[in-house]
Amino acid sequence: MPPVVVLVTTASGAADEVSLQALTLGRRIAAGGPVHALVLADEAAAAGLGDWGATEVHVARHAAFTRAAPDAAARVLGDLADQVGAAAVLGPGTEAGNTILARVAARAGLPFAANCTALTLGAPTTLTRSRWGGSLLEEAALHADRAIVTTAPHAIAAEPVSGVAAPAPAATVTPFDARLDEADLAVRVVDRVPAAAGGLSLAEAKVVVSGGRGVGSAEGFRPVEELAGLLGAAVGCSRAVTISGWRSHTDQVGQTGTKIAPNLYIAAGISGATQHLAGARGAKKILAINKDAEAPIMAAADYAVIGDLHAILPAISAEIRRARGA
């Protein structure tokens, strides 16, 4: 089989989960052929990639890669693909991955399919990709000699090689000579503004308590905040809330907001529109509190309480206090 190239994005010496998912898909379509992984600068992250199916790991070394430089990244990824004669170039369907792979395709004058959930190389290549935050799938044909795609986050489980066969052969790690022009460096991070201290990251919170249109007003969020405080949870909301100006967009859970993956998601007064559920798909358990026992959220929830959140949330908070006081 012709070689496959996979972009692996990393943070602090570790590949991110979605990249490992891309690598898993890359390995499958390579079907025993070589799987080239490209890592940008982060040497520490390179070593372990053999476990995830990379046969060769290329580490692009350039000062530009200490911070995001998407054109530069695209340049080296495209060069690597050309160099190894890749039949497919994959990357993670994250903001960083999508913009880099889109740039690879634009430079090469090739089509690009973002957020794939399945891929079969051929003439044409056929694939399935995610739309509407996963509420809809598209089956498409990709008419190109080289398939350039990203994988939809969490659509394919990352699978270590050792999990399926005998111990993985260690991947060779080689530096990749990044040849970059001035133009490739025009778009790069010049500064990093740290986030204000405090505040729980919605994306990483283990418990999220959200309110929707049913909360009724900005002040109506007080019982939501109270319960979140008691549970050490982040506060979220639906898009209806942010466009009403009741809460900032940073709290928005959804297709165009934050995609969350808590152990427990408490959704109060949220009907469960496609837009919202697209952001809550990663939650392990969902507790819905809603007046309408047949709201769409109920089809996604594990637990439900029927009734007015303004009565129910304070009762839960009181019950928690009582339980703790006892």
Partner 1 sequence: MATFPSRAKVVIIGAGIVGNSVAYHLANLGWRDLLLIDKGPLPNPGGSTGHASNFIYLVDHNKEMTALTVESANQYKAWDVYTTCGGLEVARTETRMNELRRRMDSAKNWAIDDARLVTPAEIAGLVPYVDASILVGGFYTPGVGVVDSLRFGTLCREKAEAMGALTVFANTEVLGIGVEDERVANVRTSRGTVEAEYVVIACGVWSPKVAEMAGSHIPLTPTVHQMADYGPVPLFERSSKAIEYPIVRDMDVLMYERQDGVGIEVGSYAHRSILHDPEDIPSNEAAALSPTEFPFTQADFDPQLEDALELMPSILGDERVGQKYAINGLIALTPDGMPLLGETPEVRGLWSAAAVWVKEGPAAGKCVAEWMVHGEPSIDVGQSDISRFHGHQKTRQHTKRRAFEAFPKTYGIVHPAEQYLSDRPLRKSPMYDWQVAHEAEFFEVAGWERPQWYRSNAALVAKYGVQARPNEWDARWWSPIINAEHLAMREAAGIFDLSAFALFDIVGPGALESVQKVALRQMDVAVGKVVYTPVLSEAGGFKSDLTIMRLGRDHFRVVTGGAHGMADLKWFRDNLAPGASLVDQTIAYTTIGLWGPRARDIAQAITRADMSNEAFPFGTCRIVEMGSQLVLASRISYVGDLGWELYVPMEQGQRLWDELWAAGEPMGLTACGIGVYGTTGRLEKGYRAYGMELDGDYTIVEAGMAPARIKAQDFVGREAVLRQLAEPPVALLCTLTVDDHASPRTGERRYMLGRQPITTAAGAPITDAKGRRSYATSAGASPSTGKHVLFAYLPPDHAVEGSHLFVQYFDELYPVTVAVVGARPLFDPDNLRVRAASPAQGAVPA
Partner 2 sequence: MKVLVGIKSVPAVAGRIALTPDGRAIDTKHLGFAIGPHEECAVEQAVRLIEADGGEAVVVTLGPASALEQLRDALALGMTRAIHLVTDGQEWDPESTTEALLAAIEADEAESGAFDLILLGNEAGDSADYQVAVRLGRALGRPTITALKGLSIAGGVARCEQEVEGGRDVYELTLPAVAAVLEGINLPRFPSVPGRLRAKTKPVATSEPARPAQRLEMLRLVVPQGAAKQAQVLGHGPEAAPAVVGVLRSLGVL
Contact positions with partner 1 (CB under 8 A) in 223-262:
244
**Which option in partner 2, partner 1, none does residue 294 bind, with CB closer than 5 to 8 A by kind?**
partner 1
Identify which of residues 39 and 270 has a Cβ nearer to partner 1 in the complex: 270
Tokens of 79: 């060069």
- Choose one: 61-69, 71-79, 114-122, 289-297; the region binding partner 1 (CB under 8 A): 289-297
Three-state DSSP state, 166: coil
Answer whether 16's CB lies under 8 Å from 92's CB. yes
Determine if 206 is a binding residue for partner 2 (CB under 8 A).
Answer: yes
295 binds partner 1 (CB under 8 A): yes
CA atoms within 13 A on the CB side of 35: 29
Tell me the per-residue interface mask from 14 to 43 with partner 2, x by CB under 8 A, - otherwise. Answer: ------------------------------
Nearer to partner 1, 245 or 325 (CB): 245
Which class for 181: exposed (0-12), middle (13-18), buried (19 or more C-beta within 10 A)?
exposed
DSSP-derived pairing of the beta strands 172-177 and 113-120:
unpaired
Residue 173 touches which member of partner 2, partner 1, none, C-beta under 5-8 Å by kind: none
Both tokens of residue 75? 């340049």
Identify what 300 binds: partner 2, partner 1, none; CB under 5 to 8 Å per kind: partner 2
Question: Which option in partner 2, partner 1, none does residue 291 bind, with CB closer than 5 to 8 A by kind?
Answer: partner 1
Are the CB atoms for 66 and 185 separated by under 8 Å? no
Q: Which residues pair with 176 in a beta bridge?
A: 60
Restricting to residues 4-23, name those near partner 1 by CB under 8 A. Answer: none
Q: List the one residue from 2, 124, 296, 314 that touches partner 1 (CB under 8 A).
A: 296
* Among 269, 273, 281, 272, CA closest to 306: 269
259 binds, among partner 2, partner 1, none (CB under 5 to 8 A by kind): none
Query: Do residues 5 and 25 make contact, with C-beta atoms less than 8 angstroms apart?
Result: no
Q: Please tell me whether residue 159 binds partner 1 under the rule CB under 8 A.
A: no
Closer residue to partner 2 in complex, CB, 11/164: 11
Are the C-beta atoms of residues 204 and 89 closer than 8 Å to each other?
Answer: no
The one of partner 2, partner 1, none whose footprint includes residue 323, by CB under 5 to 8 A per kind, is partner 2
Taking the least distance from each CB to partner 1, the nearer of 153 and 214 is: 214
Give me the sign of the Cα torsion angle 139, 145, 151, 155.
positive
Q: Please tell me whether residue 243 binds partner 2 under the rule CB under 8 A.
A: yes
Contact 156, 25 (CB under 8 A): yes
> From CA 76, how far away is CA 40, in angstroms rounded?
9
Note whether 1 binds partner 2 by CB under 8 A: no
Nearer to partner 1, 23 or 288 (CB): 288
Q: Does 249 bind partner 2 (CB under 8 A)?
A: yes
Q: Is 207 in the site for partner 2 (CB under 8 A)?
A: yes
Angle (deg, nearest 10), helices 95-108 and 70-84: 60
Q: Per CB under 8 A, does 292 bind partner 1?
A: yes
Binding-site string for partner 2 from residue 282 to residue 321, where x marks contact by CB under 8 A and - marks none: ---x-xx----x--x-xxxxxxxxxxx--xx-xxx-xxx-
CA atoms of 152 and 93, how far apart (whole Å): 5
Peptide bond before 153: cis, by omega within 30 degrees of 0? no
| Binding region for partner 1 (CB under 8 A) | 244, 291-296
